[in-house]
């Protein structure tokens, strides 16, 4: 029984080794296809990595003219990891999408071409060769065909390179190139809408572009900014979190800061403080995070903590007028009126258009029941920026109090 299994085991082992060799040759020919096209289409250096996605160390190296090759000595790594071809410069020339298509398609097509040539040679020119030998190019053609189908099938999931950047399969790249003209027009149109303040139209186009192009930091940022400027904070937060999840290496401090702002605008003050704290506690603190965390502490009535943060923001020179105006509110809430009025006066002297100074004076007088005075300051803030955070709520409260006092025939202010 065991002896009968030995030939089967040997055959399977041999077949497995043959498939492994086919896969190695497939990877090599695939990247060589890209390289040959690049060498023909442009004058820059062409670098091929076999067994890695851009890792130069830990293997062999070969250079011939503009062509440079880095390869792994590990056959399993060669077979399983695949490779990468980098061309210095770009394959895209205005109006000549075919260059990019040729570069992209040369990779999956060269192994099929080589396998087809060997099949023709084996069956037409060397018919006396044993069938087992003829089966080798047939097997290689099958492996190459399966790989080409998988590789040319568009997928949104990016490939992470050794340097942390992202790239995409040949199928996704091919689809992008075929859509290049239409997408380019869409991108220009979205730019024009955003520049003209038509943020809803810009957001609509950017959502379509993300579907066509796949993940893009620039598109995520513009889409999120459009929603933010439309005061659509929930959709903006969804975009921000998707950006953070899909492209974590391109999601920077500015993007995280915006996410904290969105959380605060949605009333999620605890998570917002966590985001700002993360930005503050890194090696180089993100200075404006002190301002926003201080503002959020004010919302939570943690005025001493807010003052500490505004002190740090002022020391760092970050949005100083904003910091003085909001530290002024903290002092006023703690009953230190001289300090509070002094800070707000200084903040408005630095920037007379900062609506938060007038808003905070309105909040102070609203809390004292001085509704007419409060309304004057709140309306000044509204003239400067009607979208100032919570300003609409404070105006509504103040006008309700004035209306109630007027109906009751009582005073409109009291101390």
Q: What is the pLDDT of residues 200-228, one digit of tens each?
A: 999 999 998 888 777 889 899 999 999 99
pLDDT at residue 253 greater than cutoff 80: yes
Report the share of the chain in percent with pLDDT over 70.
Answer: 91
pLDDT, position 6: 46
- With a cut of 50, say whether residue 413 has pLDDT above it: no
d(CA 261, CA 268): 10
The confidence score (pLDDT) of residue 322 equals 95
Maximum mean pLDDT: which of 33-42, 149-158, 332-341: 332-341
Could you tell me where the DSSP H helices lie in 153-232? 170-178, 180-195, 199-213, 217-229
Are the C-beta atoms of residues 158 and 245 closer than 8 Å to each other?
no
**Which two tokens mark 61?**
């190296």
Q: Which range among 30-39, 198-207, 299-308, 401-410 shows the weakest confidence by mean pLDDT?
A: 401-410
Q: What is the reported pLDDT for 88?
A: 76
pLDDT at 180: 63
CA 190/CA 210 separation, integer angstroms: 12
**pLDDT for 234 beyond 70:** yes
* % of the chain exceeding 90 in pLDDT: 52
Residue showing tokens 């690049």: 38
pLDDT, average across residues 365-388:
95
What does the pLDDT read at residue 152?
81
Query: Residues 296-346: pLDDT tens digits?
Result: 999 999 999 999 999 999 999 989 999 999 999 999 999 999 999 999 999
Q: What pLDDT, on a 0 to 100 scale, did the predictor assign at position 415?
A: 35
Question: What 3-state DSSP class applies to 86?
Answer: strand
Ranking 38-42, 273-277, 356-360 by mean pLDDT, the lowest is: 38-42
Please answer whether residues 84 and 53 qualify as being in contact, where contact means their C-beta atoms are separated by less than 8 angstroms.
yes
Contact yes or no for 90/97 (Cβ under 8 A): no
Q: What is the pLDDT at residue 90?
A: 56
Beta bridge mates, 207: none
In the predicted model, is pLDDT for residue 151 greater than 90? Answer: no
Residue 412 has pLDDT above 90, yes or no: no
Which pLDDT band, with edges at 50, 70 and 90, does 91 fall under?
low
pLDDT of residue 414: 41
Which tens digits make up the pLDDT trace of 263-275?
999 999 999 999 9
Compute the mean pLDDT over every residue in the chain, rounded to the nearest whole number: 87
- In this prediction, residue 89 carries a pLDDT of 64
Q: Which whole number is the average pLDDT over 406-410?
A: 66
State the pLDDT at residue 94. 44
pLDDT band (50, 70, 90) for residue 93: very low
Q: What is the mean pLDDT of residues 13-27?
A: 79
Q: Say whether 48 sits in a helix, a strand or coil.
A: strand
Residue 411 has pLDDT above 70, yes or no: no
**Cβ count within 10 A of residue 414:** 10
So what's the pLDDT on residue 359?
A: 97
């Amino acid at each position: 029984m065991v002896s009968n299994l030995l030939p089967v085991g040997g055959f399977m082992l041999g077949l497995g080794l043959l498939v492994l060799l086919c896969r190695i040759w497939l990877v090599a020919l695939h990247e060589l296809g890209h390289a040959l096209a690049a060498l023909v289409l442009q004058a820059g250096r062409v670098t091929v990595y076999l067994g890695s996605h851009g890792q130069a160390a830990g293997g062999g190296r070969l250079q011939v003219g503009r062509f440079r090759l880095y390869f792994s000595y590990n056959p399993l790594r060669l077979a399983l990891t695949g490779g990468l071809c980098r061309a210095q410069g770009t394959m895209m020339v205005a109006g000549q999408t075919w260059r990019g298509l040729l570069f992209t398609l040369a990779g999956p097509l060269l192994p099929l071409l080589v396998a087809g040539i060997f099949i023709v040679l084996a069956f037409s020119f060397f018919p006396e060769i044993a069938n087992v030998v003829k089966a080798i190019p047939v097997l290689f053609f099958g492996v190459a065909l399966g790989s080409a189908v998988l590789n040319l099938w568009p997928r949104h999931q990016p490939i992470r390179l050794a340097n942390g950047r992202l790239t995409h399969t040949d199928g996704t790249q091919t689809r992008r190139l075929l859509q290049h003209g239409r997408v380019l027009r869409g991108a220009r149109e979205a730019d024009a809408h955003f520049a003209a303040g038509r943020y809803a139209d810009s957001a609509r186009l950017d959502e379509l572009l993300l579907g066509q192009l796949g993940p893009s930091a620039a598109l995520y940022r513009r889409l999120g900014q459009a929603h933010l400027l439309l005061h659509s904070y929930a959709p903006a937060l969804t975009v921000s979190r998707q950006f953070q999840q899909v492209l974590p290496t391109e999601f920077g401090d500015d993007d995280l800061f915006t996410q904290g702002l969105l959380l605060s605008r949605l009333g999620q003050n605890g998570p917002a403080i966590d985001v700002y704290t993360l930005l503050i506690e890194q090696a180089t603190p993100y200075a404006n995070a002190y301002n926003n965390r201080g503002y959020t502490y004010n919302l939570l009535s943690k005025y001493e903590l807010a003052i500490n943060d505004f002190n740090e923001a002022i020391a760092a020179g970050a949005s100083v007028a904003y910091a003085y105006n909001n530290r002024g509110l903290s002092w006023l809430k703690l009953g230190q009126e001289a300090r509070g009025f002094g800070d707000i006066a200084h903040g408005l002297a630095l920037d007379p258009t900062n609506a938060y100074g007038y808003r905070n004076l309105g909040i102070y007088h609203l809390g004292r029941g001085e509704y007419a005075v409060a309304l004057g300051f709140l309306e000044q803030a509204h003239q400067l920026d009607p979208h100032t955070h919570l300003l609409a709520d404070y105006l509504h409260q103040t006008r309700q109090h004035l209306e109630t006092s007027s109906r009751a025939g009582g005073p409109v202010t009291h101390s």
